[in-house]
Amino acid sequence: MRLKQSFFFRALPLICGVLFSMETVVQKTFAEGNLVSRKDVLLLNRVRLKSVWEGKAEVPANLSILILAGHADSQGISGAGTAGEAVALKGAKPMDASISDELFWNLLIRDAVVQLGLEQGLNIRAYEPGIRNIDDGNHPLTNWSVGARHARAGGYPLEIHFDSYGEYGFGSGLIPAISTKLNVVDESLALAFGRYPMFFRGGLGAPRREIRVLEIGKLEGELESKLRDPNSRQNTIDAIAQKVVTALVGAIRGKPLP
């Protein structure tokens, strides 16, 4: 008995040390977890569909990136984009009565990504069709036509979207081009936002033309409120743009992904 006791007391500092360091590890991990969730709290609803593709092809350092706003050429017809939960279900007024709320945000994110990308030294620009309703998808000014030409010339066309709310949406993620040559930029965006299957919905019009579709997130809940609230709008747009540009820069400059 005495022997056991004395062993216990001699071992006490060791036991305490182990417990203390375990606690430190737990606290540290918890703090890091909090940090990650705070940073990414708006984009937690990632797509959860089975997808197996991997983007491996290298890209040149001066890869020409074209950022398009989804539905910028298709207002007033069936492909106008989601109205968002606030307008469709909660009686809020549209951000701009002449366009869908999705397009309203797609345009702002498009421009923020380009501005930030230029500041980070990327070869990046926006495409603005200038006409909000072009019935013929193959008209030379549509996102589809301009994006397809950009891809054929060796560039990287990326169309910004927000996904539908509730049961109509799948979540954030990259819908890749229907291509055997998916590259490290595709991979980087998929790691940052989520990964849609290559033949999502049987193959959409944009991916068939090698235009990548980036679903930022479902237009609902906290993400939509933070965008709608004038006090948090700019920070939210900046955070989303930063996430896109970080993924682009990481892939193009070969930096390890966060």
Minimum distance, C-beta of residue 206 to Zn ion, in the bound complex (Å): 10
One-character DSSP codes across 64-124: -EEEEETTTTBTTSTTS---HHHHHHH-PPPSSTTS-HHHHHHHHHHHHHHHHHHHTT--E
Minimum distance, C-beta of residue 162 to Zn ion, in the bound complex (Å): 6
Tell me which residue has tokens 């890749």: 176
Segment (H or E) for 206: helix 205-208
SS3 54: coil
Give the interface with Zn ion as residue ranges (CB under 5 A): 70, 81, 161
> Torsions phi, psi of 192, nearest 5?
-75, -35
Minimum distance, C-beta of residue 131 to Zn ion, in the bound complex (Å): 18
Minimum distance, C-beta of residue 81 to Zn ion, in the bound complex (Å): 4
Minimum distance, C-beta of residue 258 to Zn ion, in the bound complex (Å): 26
CA 43 to CA 171: how far, in whole Å?
8
Our CB check for Zn ion shows the closer of 70 and 157 to be 70
Q: In this chain, which residue has its C-beta nearest to Zn ion?
A: 161
Minimum distance, C-beta of residue 20 to Zn ion, in the bound complex (Å): 52
Query: Would strands 65-69 and 124-127 be described as parallel, antiparallel, or unpaired?
Result: parallel
> CB neighbours of 105 closer than 8 A, spacing ≥ 6?
95, 162, 216, 219, 227
Q: What is the dihedral of CA 90, 82, 198, 112, to 10 degrees?
A: -100
Our CB check for Zn ion shows the closer of 220 and 251 to be 220
Please say whether the dihedral angle defined by the alpha carbons of residues 106, 111, 112 and 117, taken in this order, is positive or negative.
positive
Our CB check for Zn ion shows the closer of 172 and 252 to be 172
Minimum distance, C-beta of residue 215 to Zn ion, in the bound complex (Å): 7
CA 250 to CA 159: how far, in whole Å?
19
- The two tokens of residue 133 are 């309703």
| Type of residue numbered 210 | E
Our CB check for Zn ion shows the closer of 59 and 206 to be 206
Our CB check for Zn ion shows the closer of 159 and 186 to be 159
